[in-house]
Amino acid sequence: MAPIWKPQTNETHKHWLTVILNESTNKLTDWENNFIDSIHDRIIAGQTLSQKQEEILDRIYTEKT
């Protein structure tokens, strides 16, 4: 049975983005940079992330920091 997805808070997303932007910008692909910019704008606007967006953000955070 697959684990049940539980969304993270916007504060957690902000933390992940801060770490990625401070530690990994030179390690990111162009696509990842564009994705991070898009996600950053969504979070600043107070919007929530979809499950897929959160999974990708988590993957980038885990792989690049």
Q: Where are the domains of the chain?
A: 17-64
Per-residue pLDDT of the chain (65 residues; tens, 9 = 90+): 556 667 788 888 888 899 998 888 788 999 999 999 999 999 889 898 999 999 999 999 999 88
Q: Which pLDDT value is given to residue 33? A: 93
40-44: long-range contacts at Cβ-Cβ below 8 A with a sequence spacing of 24 or more? 43/10, 43/13, 43/14, 43/17
Contact in structure between 31 and 64 (CB atoms under 8 Å): no
- For 19, the 3-state DSSP assignment is helix
User: What is the model's pTM?
Assistant: 0.81
Q: Which pLDDT value is given to residue 65? A: 86
Q: Which pLDDT value is given to residue 11? A: 87
Contact in structure between 65 and 19 (CB atoms under 8 Å): yes
Q: Which pLDDT value is given to residue 41? A: 92
